[in-house]
Chain A
Amino acid sequence: GQNIDQPTEMTATEGAIVQINCTYQTSGFNGLFWYQQHAGEAPTFLSYNVLDGLEEKGRFSSFLSRSKGYSYLLLKELQMKDSASYLCAVMDSNYQLIWGAGTKLIIKP
């Protein structure tokens, strides 16, 4: 079966750095997405990786290793507004998105 694993919950301090990991086992691979979702709201797109390596976008970076079936989202200079759930999704060989359950990130002052 297809599976996406993420930690259920993480806690970090305002101003610090946090890394949210995502491991996947899917039928084929056509890219990995990260979305942010504040409680009760719509998910919003953060990043897309299809080749190995690091993609940087402001305070957020996303890394991919296809050989290891592994990605992480790195958030720097954490702000209180970064408190949200972070969803990892992989596009499989049929171009369907397989979603992880999400990681709830709690930021403390």
Chain B
Amino acid sequence: DGGITQSPKYLFRKEGQNVTLSCEQNLNHDAMYWYRQDPGQGLRLIYYSQIVNDFQKGDIAEGYSVSREKKESFPLTVTSAQKNPTAFYLCASSIRGGAGANVLTFGAGSRLTVL
């Protein structure tokens, strides 16, 4: 079955450490996204990519980095520069970016807790 796989599901990190969250899709989608979800707030876009080897910053990119070396993969690194990294992170993909009924397919999420 096609879908998006995120790993790990739960991750604990000490302050000052970088961590990388994995996101893999086998839907042959061009566009991929990383969102952060905090209680009482809407999803906030961290980074997105519409094509391999290209990505753009979202609304809250500071303290995060990404790469898009393969169409299927869009890993997110949470660096020590991110001041409040404890959150639920969602990866998503869509057939393409931009206009239209651009339906997102989400992964099951990764919950990061900083100790």
Give residues in A with beta carbon < 8 Å to B: 4, 8, 30-31, 33, 35, 40-45, 48, 50, 87, 89, 91, 95-102
Contacts and interface: CB of A to CB of B under 8 A. Distances in A.
Interface in B18-73: 40-45
A44 B102 contact: no
Contact of A99 (B43, B97, B105, B107): B43
Nearest to B58: A96
A41 B108 contact: yes
Contacts of A95: 97-99, 102
A11 B5 CA distance: 33
A91 B102 contact: yes
B101 A48 contact: yes
Nearest to A42: B106
A5 to B, nearest CB: 10
Contacts, number: 52
- Judged by DSSP, the binding face of B is loop
B45 A101 contact: no
Contacts of A48: 101, 103
Contact of A43 (B45, B90, B111): B90
Q: Which residue, of B90, B97, B103, has the highest number of chain A Cβ atoms within 10 A? A: B103
A64 to B, nearest CB: 13
A74 B45 CA distance: 27
Nearest to B3: A42
Given A43-B106, A91-B102, A97 B97 contact: no
